[in-house]
Each structure stands twice: as C-alpha cells, then as structure tokens.
Amino acid sequence: MRLINTHPYSFGPLCCTQKPYKKSHLSLQTTIYCHPTRFHKRYTAAAIQSPMEAAGTDSDGREFRNPDEMWLEHTGDTSKKTQWYRDGVAYWEGVEASVNGVLGGYGHVNDADVKGSEGFLQTLLAELFVDGGIDRHLVALDCGSGIGRITKNLLIRYFNEVDLLEPVSHFLDAARESLVQENHMALDKHKATHFYCVPLQEFTPDAGRYDVIWVQWCIGHLTDDDFVSFFNRAKIGLKPGGFFVLKENLARSGFVLDKEDRSITRSDSYFKGLFSRCGLHLYKSRVVK
C-alpha cells in the first residue's frame, strides 16, 4: 500500500459540517480517497493496533487512555449515544446558514479549500475514469453538505447530478434555495437533484447510484462503530469503479474530543484502523499543513 503525500491527504451519520480548523490541536487538513476493497493483511494488523493503544484528550484537557475509554463514557449506552448525536445537531442548529457560519468563523479558508479539493478531484477523475469521465453521466453525494458550499463551488461543475445529505434543516433549506437557482442557469445539465435531511448514521444510499461519495469535515461527529457502519452501507451506493473522498483534519497523535460540538479529531493511524475495519483500500492521500 503506497501513501502519496503531496499537496492536501487522499482517501476514499450524523454528519454536520464540522469546523475546518479547531484550536491548537490541529496539525493537518486531510483528504483521503478509498476504494471499497480490502487492505493488505500486514497493513491491516498494524493499523488496527495503534489507535486502540493511543491516548487522547478532550477540549477541557482531560486525558483518556484510549478511544474505548472515551466512547464508553460519552456513548456507552443507548441514552448517552442518542444525546451525543442530539447535542451535535443542536450545536449546528445555533449556527447561521452562511459560509462563515458553517466554517466555524473561518470563512476566509473557503477559496483555498475549494481550490485544493478541485486539483485533487481532477487528478482522481483523470486516473480512475476513461477520458476523465467526460462521456459518463456522473453522480456525486455530498455528505454533511451544510449550505451546499462544496456542491455549489465544486461538485456541480464536475458532476451531472449531486445529491446533498445534511441533518441540519436550515442549512439544507439554504442549500436548496441557492442551488435551485444554479439548476436554472445550468439548464439541468449539471444540477442538485435530491436534498436529504437525514443524519449519516441513519442514511442508506440507493444501490449503484454514485460515482463519488464526498465526505468533508463531518465524519468526526460519528462514533467509531457508526463510522464503520456508514461506510459499509455507503459501499452499496457506489457504481462499479466509484470511490469515496474523505477530507478531514488530523490530530497529531491519538485523538481530541471537542465537547462543544460533539466531534472527535482522529490521528492518521486512528483513521487507517477504521478504514481497515470498513474494508477500504487507501488509494491516494494528500496533506496540507
């Protein structure tokens, strides 16, 4: 398995739009692209061991010996888990439906974020689809779509149809209003098609609908078990040759729990351990410091 570290990192619920830069614990903004196939056995074994041994902290500075200890405390029974997801949605329900709002007050990173993602997407399309997919009817799913920022500024220019998945209703309403205007301008050649107000941990895509499932700044709201369950269900939604793109932040080591918005920032090895549990093959990655 070869990891390619160049400009941003490449791989492939409840999903709200997670803040892109959070406090001092952030080290890297990442994008990971994965095929739904299995890791090499030796890679899997190494990846599974390290995250379970890694210590982490929460936003108050409290230390946990490992993720299991943290998850047991916060989501250890049905009631706690329900509250975890309810609190996550409630946080974002109190945020204004604007670029600055969904980016946690860092609206100025929007242009750089889109530009970096576009270069990465262009590379993937060129490498994985004949003629870059020009002669295909391409369909994407934007997970944790928020107000449709990524769909409007990136995905709708490369895909004939984009579906949006977002559990915060006023974000999705803003996306629908904005993108309906885009649909008219594009004469329906490239359009936003479906708007799902559903959390990721409850969503199952239609079989074989998507060429790309894009997951950005939102997977940190999912528990480990729901992370694995989501990707296992989402595989069904991919067309033959389809892939995932996951863009996320990395903790320098272990994990950091943000108690304010109920999200976890995972380390590189933590992510890889979860990918292996999902049966995902890491194809390409980029890192932005």
What is the percent of the chain where pLDDT is above 70? 79
pLDDT at 30: 53
Q: How much is the pTM?
A: 0.86
pLDDT at 33: 63
Higher pLDDT, 106 or 15: 106
Average pLDDT over residues 124-137: 92
Across all residues in the chain, what is the average pLDDT?
Answer: 85
- CA distance linking residue 86 with residue 210, whole number of Å: 28
Q: pLDDT digit string (tens) for 184-233? A: 555 578 999 999 999 999 999 999 999 999 999 999 999 999 999 999 99
Does residue 78 register a pLDDT over 70?
A: yes
Other beta carbons within 10 angstroms of residue 25's beta carbon come to 19
Higher pLDDT, 287 or 75: 75
- CA distance linking residue 118 with residue 286, whole number of Å: 13
Instruction: Name the least confident of 49-53, 87-91, 175-179.
Output: 49-53
**CB neighbour burial string for 28-61, b if at least 16 within 10 angstroms, e if fewer:** bbbbbbbbbeebeeebbeebbebbeebebbbbee
- Closest by CA to 89, choosing from 202, 221, 215, 213, is 221
Average pLDDT over residues 144-167: 97
- CA distance linking residue 48 with residue 133, whole number of Å: 35
Does residue 7 register a pLDDT over 90?
A: no
Q: pLDDT digit string (tens) for 41-58? A: 333 333 344 555 689 999
Which tokens go with 193? 């098609």
What is the dihedral angle through the alpha carbons of 212, 49, 81, 151, rounded to the nearest 10 degrees? Answer: -20
- Closest by CA to 9, choosing from 219, 251, 285, is 285
- CA distance linking residue 3 with residue 105, whole number of Å: 32
- CA distance linking residue 157 with residue 174, whole number of Å: 19
- CA distance linking residue 84 with residue 32, whole number of Å: 26
Average pLDDT over residues 92-101: 98
**CB neighbour burial string for 120-151, b if at least 16 within 10 angstroms, e if fewer:** bbebbbeebbeebbeebebbbbbbbbbbbbbb
Task: Give the DSSP H or E segment for 264.
Answer: strand 263-266
Instruction: Name the least confident of 31-40, 145-154, 203-212, 237-246.
Output: 31-40
pLDDT at 36: 67
